[in-house]
Amino acid sequence: MPKNSDWIVPDWPAPAGVQAVFTTRNGQAGAEGASQSPWDRFNLGDHVGDDALHVAANRAALQHSLKAQAVFLNQVHGVTVASLDTTTEHGTVADGAICAHPRVACTVMVADCLPVLFTDATGAVVGAAHAGWRGLAAGVLEHTARALRKMAASAVPHHLAHQDPIELMAWLGPCIGPEAFEVGAEVKDAFVRDDPGAQACFVSTHANKYLANLQGLARRRLKADGVTRVYGNDGSSNWCTVTDSGRFFSYRRDQSVLGGTGRMAACIWRA
C-alpha cells in the first residue's frame, strides 16, 4: 500500500497527468490536521459534530496539498453522479462525481464505506464513487462508469472518441474489511437476488448474520460492467478501516464507543 507520508497514493498504472490520493486520519507535512478527539486529527467531514473551524482548516490544508480544488459532496448512499467544474458548490447531493476539467478533484468521503476512483485509458476524464452497501447494491459504480464513458466520448480527440467501449480503470481504497463487516440477511439478499454468484462474498456467522466482503462485491459489479482493470483493496487486513485505528476513521468501530468519528477522503484529478 504505497504512501505519501501517511496518506495513500494509489499504486496503479493511471495515465500521465492523473493524480490521486487517499487521506488518513493523520496529517502530513503542510497538512498536519486541526481536529481534536474523537475526530483527531485530519477530519474532513463537516457533518459529524467536529468544530467547523477545525474542519475548514483541514479542508484548506488538503486543497493546498493537492494544488487542486476538492469538491465535497453531500453523500446520501444513492446513485446520483455529479459532473464537476470550477463552479460546482460544496454540498452538491451525489454519491458519484466525474470531471474533465484540470485541477478540479472528484472527492468522496468515507469512514468504512468503499471509495472507488476511476479514469479512462487516455486520462481525459476522472471520477469517484462512494460505495456503501446500499449505494453499491443500487448501482452507484455502474452509474458512475456510464457517466464517465459518456463524458470521455466527448472529451477525447475525434479519432479516439469512437473507440467502443471506452476503457476505464478503477482503484479501490480502504474500507471495512471482510472480517469486520457483519450484516443481516437483507444485505445479502440485496446483492444475491440479481447476482447469485455474489453469495461467495458472504460468510455465514450465525442465524441470519453474515460477514460481507465489500470490495469483493465491488469487483464483481465492476467486472460485470466491463471494468476489468481494477487495482487497490484486495480484502487483506491492511486495507481494513476497522482494524487500523491508528490510520483510519471507522464509523462502526468508533461511533458507539467515542460518540463520533471523522471522515477521510479519496480524491482524483487531472493535473
pLDDT at residue 266, rounded to an integer: 98
pLDDT at residue 4, rounded to an integer: 47
Residue 225 in any domain: the answer is no
C-beta neighbour count of 125 within 10 angstroms: 28
DSSP sequence for 57-87: HHHHHHHHHHTSEEEEEE--SS--EEEP-TT
pLDDT at residue 3, rounded to an integer: 47
Give the predicted TM-score (pTM) of the model.
Answer: 0.95
What is the extent of the structural domain holding 25?
3-183+230-270
Please list, residue by residue across 224-241, b when 16 or more beta carbons sit within 10 angstroms of its beta carbon and e when fewer do: ebebeebebbebeeebbb
What is the mean pLDDT of each successive set of 10 residues along the chain, which is 271 residues long?
71 97 91 94 97 97 95 98 97 98 98 98 97 98 97 72 77 98 98 97 94 98 97 97 97 93 98 95
Dihedral of alpha carbons 86, 22, 75, 134, sign: positive
Residue 222 in any domain: the answer is no
Residue 16 in any domain: the answer is yes
Query: Which amino acid belongs to residue 216?
Result: G
Cell 469487483 sits at which residue?
219
Q: How far apart are CA 72 and CA 62, in angstroms?
A: 12
Q: How far apart are CA 130 and CA 141, in angstroms?
A: 8
pLDDT at residue 27, rounded to an integer: 87
Q: What sections of the chain are H helices per DSSP?
A: 52-66, 133-138, 140-155, 158-161, 185-192, 214-224, 251-258
Residue 254 in any domain: the answer is yes
Tell me the β-bridge partners of 267. 21, 107
pLDDT at residue 65, rounded to an integer: 94
Tell me how many domains the chain contains: 1
Residue 206 in any domain: the answer is no
Residue 226, φ and ψ in degrees, nearest 5: 95, 5
pLDDT at residue 86, rounded to an integer: 95
pLDDT at residue 164, rounded to an integer: 61
Q: How far apart are CA 142 and CA 129, in angstroms?
A: 10
CB of 75 closer than 8 Å to CB of 68: no
CB of 172 closer than 8 Å to CB of 215: yes
Residue 207 in any domain: the answer is no
Q: How far apart are CA 8 and CA 22, in angstroms?
A: 5
Residue 197 in any domain: the answer is no
At 258, which CATH number?
Answer: 3.60.140.10
Residue 220 in any domain: the answer is no
